[in-house]
Structure 1
Amino acid sequence: MALAEPHHILPLPVFDKPVKLLIVVAPYYRDVADQLVEGARATAAACGAETDLAEVPGALEIPTAIAIAERLAKYDGYVALGCVIRGETTHYDTVCNDSSRAISLLGLQGACIGNGILTVETKAQADVRAEAAGQNKGGGAAAAALHLIALARKWAGTTRSIGFGA
């Protein structure tokens, strides 16, 4: 069981300039989504970050919304929140794999994204992971985005030469 294993959590980064996060949530399971958002907002506030919220129909739409915002809006980072509970068909696998892969691809293109889309077997598992006073996976996703923003700001303006030197 993962709860029994010790793990290290990085302290939240400190910023000298304002941070603006977009939380993109699929509220298919509204009570779970609300807990995830609560945790994400609290973690963002602890760093002094401002948050906006966008709701989308499902987990598959989360990466698309982030891609649109990355292209058209002014956010430093993104928090992807939602919940996928295994059902009777393979649709679960498609939603889990495709949403995760799309978020990873956006990250590899430079978007600072914390992935807090829960992929669970039961609603009870989702409740435990989402609870802001418990495992707080929404807060963890916000922290991940904030850490990536801190790294991006640290490395901004540094360049490496490409190809052969003279």
Structure 2
Amino acid sequence: MNTITPNLDGRQLRIGIVQARFTNEIGSEMLKVCCRTLKELGVADEDITVATVPGALEVPIALMNLASSEQFDALIAIGVVIRGETYHFELVSNESGAGVTRVGLDYNIPIANAILTTENDEQAVARIEEKASDAAKVAVECANLVNHLLEAQFAEEDEK
């Protein structure tokens, strides 16, 4: 059996982050935690690019443009969608999530989706630290996994 072990070494990785500014206090704190964790994992300041957009629905278009640049090993989506009294919560949650997933699959780039969907501000605040830190770890681990798999694929093709 050949097992690929998780690799959380962020050195040499380039990470793009898109932060939705709606509910900016929570998103800004998530961004701080995420960047701090990326640095702890070895990602250099100059290898982290941050773009902001008005809200969660705009996150996928920014991710798509970052992905199409082919300058990043992984991307991170940060934002908060808090339930209101209308169907808008479901629309924003579902469409932003589907868009983030589609970009990752279309461009073969790992995207850590840290767009919180909560009932209220208190739930969002309670999840800042864990969700933002996890997003950084997921981005680094998945970037290393995809890079490893691509290297193995190219090595196999070279042997043929």
Counterpart selection for 2:144 from 147, 150, 164: 150
How far residue 95 of structure 1 moved from its aligned partner, in angstroms, is 0.6
Q: Where in structure 1 do 4 or more consecutive aligned residues deviate above 2 Å?
A: 157-161
Give the CA RMSD over aligned residues: 2.0
Give the Cα separation in 1 of the matches to 2:32 and 2:9. 21
Q: Confirm or deny that 1:125 pairs with 2:123.
A: yes
Is the contact made by 2:7 and 2:145 (CA closer than 8 Å) also made in structure 1? no
Structure (1/2) with the larger helix percentage = 2
Counterpart selection for 1:14 from 9, 13, 21: 9
TM-score, normalisation: structure 1: 0.81
The sequence identity of aligned pairs, in percent, is: 30
TM-score, normalisation: structure 2: 0.84
Q: Confirm or deny that 1:36 pairs with 2:34.
A: no
Give the Cα separation in 1 of the matches to 2:133 and 2:60. 19
Give the Cα separation in 2 of the matches to 1:80 and 1:66. 8
The size of the alignment, in residue pairs, is 147
Is the contact made by 1:114 and 1:142 (CA closer than 8 Å) also made in structure 2? yes
Is the contact made by 1:12 and 1:47 (CA closer than 8 Å) also made in structure 2? no
Give the Cα separation in 1 of the matches to 2:149 and 2:88. 39
Letter paired with 1:117: I
How far residue 107 of structure 1 moved from its aligned partner, in angstroms, is 2.1
Unaligned runs of 5+ in 2: none
Q: Which residue of 2 aligns with 1:5?
A: none
Q: 1:51-130 to 2 correspondence within 5 Å? A: 51-72=48-69, 74-109=71-106, 110-130=108-128
Give the Cα separation in 2 of the matches to 1:12 and 1:124. 33
